[in-house]
Amino acid sequence: MAGNYKKKSLEGRGDILKIRDIKVFACCPGRNFVTVKVITDTGVYGLGDATVNGREMAVVAYLEEHVVPCLIGRDPQAIEDIWQYLYKGAYWRRGPITMAAIAGIDMALWDIKGKLADMPLYQMLGGKSRAGVTLYAHANGETIGDTLKKAQSQINQGFKAVRLQCAVPGLEVTYGVLGDKKDYYELQGNRPLPPEEQWSTAKYFSMIEELFCEARRQLGPEVKLLHDVHSRLTPIESARLGKLLEPYNLLFLEDVCIAENQDNLQLVRQHTTIPLAIGETYNSIWDCKDLIQNQSIDFIRTAATHAGGITAMRRIADFASLFNVQTAPHGAPDLSPICFAAHIHLNTWTHNFGVQEYVGPGNEQVQKIFSHDIEVKDGLAFVSEAPGLGVDFDELAAELYPYKRSYLPVSRLEDGTVWNW
């Protein structure tokens, strides 16, 4: 267990600590994860998450062919220099594969630094800004009644914030709704080719206001409600949705329209006061700079795994704080418990933290491979006091669940046109 780690003294060493080896693992305990393990010449090691959903092996190849050979023999404590070396030195900057590879290394190096200092990561960042990290849970169902029943169950467990997603009547499948699957691992871990799912904006609008009207009537005014549109709407349709849902006082609307054109959010902003959140597909501060600086959003949802690691997330959080934007890191099950631990440390430290997405501790297989002592109670997560990230990785257990190709679905309009994701 990470909590049992014993600090190894470097006193008396005449040389600099060096990276001896870097291992990259791809395993599928229900869904695929890419795990990076950086090992020093003293045996101290750190862990990082480098998962890109549906493109995992691209990151594995990038790491093994283009990153690992360049880092052997380097000082693992030179975190900033290594980050800049991998980012600026590659010429080909940014992009999800590059930034996930950098993130995996970066997390592992911070994990090592914390272990060497015998301090948890949040202390290395500057200490606590809060006692616990507010989480929002998921509630989804085939009907409005089913969705709200599940939301009430989450509230009964102590969650103060719940994301509501409901199947759209008239569509065979609605993304974000489990259907007959027991969890997200069963739903999303068995897609050897991308399934193609229909989308209808008209059918979506026929039910969405009723969902939140009933939610407020049944759940009351105090619970914080959220909703993810998964970028299915145009900017003007998003503006309409924002106006429609204003009476129901949502904490935020997520990914109302595509992320590439940042001016989209300005148009939405002009028509509604509902808080807006975006960013889970962004992979650098440059992707969200204008949105933050122009105050077009209220929450930035970049994830440590996808945006360049802990080093990059610190910069995004500090920059966002200047413009009244809060952090709300992506937390879907396509991120491993290593990333979740990194987020809990970051969220504990970040002054302008808002809320953390949470889909549970993972299935039994995940919990066998990744061990940690993060406590979740009454809708809050409490950071580990173990040195570094406070997570360990069982290599032998991971070998029992080899990588299995699986994809996210593709969205099409009812006439067959490929649509926004």
pLDDT in tens, 353-391: 999 999 999 999 999 999 999 999 999 999 999 999 999
Q: What percent of the chain has pLDDT over 70?
A: 96
Rounded-to-integer distance, Cα 327 and Cα 329, Å: 6
pLDDT in tens, 20-73: 999 999 999 999 999 999 999 999 999 999 999 999 999 999 999 999 999 999
- Which has the minimum average pLDDT: 234-243, 257-266, 335-344, 396-405? 257-266
Question: Domain 2-119 maps to which CATH number in 3.40.640.10, 3.90.650.10, 1.20.1250.20, 3.30.390.10?
Answer: 3.30.390.10
Rounded-to-integer distance, Cα 79 and Cα 421, Å: 34
Average pLDDT, the chain: 94
Catalytic residues: 175, 230
pLDDT score, position 6: 47
pLDDT score, position 13: 45
pLDDT score, position 15: 63
| 3 pLDDT above the threshold of 50 | no
Rounded-to-integer distance, Cα 272 and Cα 246, Å: 7
- 362: exposed, middle or buried (C-beta count within 10 Å: 0-12, 13-18, 19+)? buried
| 11 pLDDT above the threshold of 80 | no
| 10 pLDDT above the threshold of 60 | no
| 2 pLDDT above the threshold of 60 | no
User: Encoding tokens for residue 416?
Assistant: 């067959």
- 183: exposed, middle or buried (C-beta count within 10 Å: 0-12, 13-18, 19+)? middle
Domain 124-386: assigned CATH number: 3.20.20.120
User: Encoding tokens for residue 251?
Assistant: 């904490």
Confidence grade of residue 183 (pLDDT, cut at 50, 70, 90): confident
185/338: higher pLDDT: 338
Whole-model pTM: value is: 0.94
**Structural domain boundaries in the chain:** 2-119, 124-386
